[in-house]
């Protein structure tokens, strides 16, 4: 097992991944997402149902998203929906950005905040430690920010970076360089917390940040591999945000 990092200094900033780090989707149903959109269809000449649209999306997804992700790049969901609807001859009375937010809210049904993360964020506020979010997601940053405001109304994240907005995914150094530029801090003063050993922990460590692998096993995750290889870099491995709270209290 990789040894843990020996960092003991209090960070100036803690960065978080979003999915299964701050919040997790309780369930996912793309058909339900398209059911939420079809009432706004101004034109549906083929009389397509939500099941029809979801089936077409499942066929289109591997042709667009998977090649981009294998190359470390991200396709914005607005592009995907725009192409999908054009191919299906669907036209809507609401703009794509609004449709995208409606879709994600309906697909996930509802979200959970990860256990004790609200307590951790409260401690970070008390200690005057800055926070931000860096997420691999094809959803718009507006949608992610709206969700964070809903579930963490008392916590103002300083910035939110979504791979969808920049076309590059963790662990590519470019997205971490962007985070460092926004933080305006040297990497050794930043801790990066995430559930993905390679994308989050190894990616952050490669640029000099302290990587923290948060491995929650209490809530189901729709996109985790059954077995994840641990990070190959020195890191902290925790299963509960209260463990990180104790480490923070012990920093100098």
- CATH number reported for the structural domain that contains residue 149 in this entry: 3.40.50.1000
133 and 227 share one domain: yes
Using alpha carbons, select from 181, 170, 162 the residue that is nearest to residue 206.
Answer: 170
Q: How far is CA 68 from CA 59, 143, 223, 240, in A?
A: 15, 21, 17, 33
Question: Domain count of the chain?
Answer: 2
52 and 80 share one domain: yes
What are the residues facing 43 on neighbouring strands?
Answer: 91
d(CA 128, CA 131): 9
Mean per-residue pLDDT pooled into runs of 10, the chain (252 residues): 63 96 86 97 98 97 93 95 98 97 84 94 97 96 93 97 97 98 98 97 98 91 78 95 93 72
172 and 136 share one domain: yes
| pLDDT at 219 (0 to 100) | 83
Domain that residue 214 falls in: 13-26+110-249
| pLDDT at 111 (0 to 100) | 78
| pLDDT at 97 (0 to 100) | 95
181 and 239 share one domain: yes
d(CA 246, CA 60): 46
152 and 77 share one domain: no
132 and 222 share one domain: yes
| pLDDT at 5 (0 to 100) | 65
| pLDDT at 1 (0 to 100) | 40
d(CA 2, CA 23): 27
Query: Is 104 a domain residue?
Result: yes
Query: Is 2 a domain residue?
Result: no
116 and 49 share one domain: no
Residues belonging to the chain = 252
233 and 167 share one domain: yes
Burial label, 218 (beta-carbon count in 10 A; 0-12, 13-18, 19+): exposed
d(CA 221, CA 19): 9
3-class state of residue 223 by DSSP: coil
d(CA 191, CA 210): 5
Give residue for tokens 């396709």: 75
| pLDDT at 174 (0 to 100) | 97
| pLDDT at 46 (0 to 100) | 98
Extended beta strands in the chain, E state: 13-16, 23-25, 41-43, 91-92, 111-113, 130-135, 160-162, 190-194, 210-214, 236-238
Query: Is 8 a domain residue?
Result: no
Q: 100 and 92 in contact (C-beta within 8 Å)?
A: no
| pLDDT at 19 (0 to 100) | 92
201 and 131 share one domain: yes
> Of 108, 140, 156, at which residue does a domain stop?
108
């Amino acid at each position: 097992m990789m040894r843990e990092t020996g960092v003991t200094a209090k960070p100036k900033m803690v960065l978080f991944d979003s999915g299964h780090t701050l919040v997790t989707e309780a369930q996912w149903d793309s058909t339900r997402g398209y059911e939420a959109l079809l009432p706004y269809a101004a034109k549906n000449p083929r009389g397509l149902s939500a099941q029809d649209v979801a089936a077409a999306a499942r066929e289109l997804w591997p042709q667009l998203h998977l090649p981009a992700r294998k190359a470390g790049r991200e396709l914005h969901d607005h592009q995907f929906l725009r192409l999908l609807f054009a191919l299906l001859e669907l036209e809507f009375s609401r703009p794509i950005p609004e449709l995208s937010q409606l879709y994600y809210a309906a697909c996930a049904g509802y979200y959970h905040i990860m256990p004790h993360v609200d307590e951790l964020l409260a401690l970070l506020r008390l200690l005057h430690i800055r926070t931000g979010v860096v997420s691999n997601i094809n959803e718009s940053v507006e949608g992610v920010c709206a969700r964070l405001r809903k579930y963490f109304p008392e916590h103002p994240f300083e910035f939110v970076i979504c791979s969808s907005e920049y076309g590059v995914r963790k662990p590519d150094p470019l997205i971490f360089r962007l985070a460092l530029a926004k933080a305006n801090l040297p990497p050794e003063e930043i801790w990066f917390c995430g559930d993905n050993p390679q994308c989050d922990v190894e990616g952050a460590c490669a640029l000099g940040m302290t990587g923290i692998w948060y491995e929650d096993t209490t809530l189901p995750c729709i996109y985790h591999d059954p077995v994840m290889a641990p990070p190959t870099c020195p890191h902290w491995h925790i299963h509960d945000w209260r463990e990180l709270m104790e480490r923070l209290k012990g920093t100098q």
